[in-house]
Amino acid sequence: MSKCCVKAMVTGKVQGVWYRRSTQEQALQHGVTGHAKNLPDGRVEVLLCGESSAVNAVVEWLWKGPPGARVTHVELEGVEYRDRDTFQTL
Give 5's contacts (C-beta < 8 A, 6+ positions apart).
34, 47, 48, 49, 55, 78, 79, 80, 81, 82
Query: Of 21, 50, 18, nearest to 33 (Cα)?
Result: 50
Active site residue 70: no
Choose the catalytic residue: 21, 38, 43, 56.
38
Active site residue 56: no
Choose the catalytic residue: 20, 56, 70, 84.
20
Dist. CA 87–CA 78, nearest whole Å:
18
Catalytic residue IDs: 20, 38
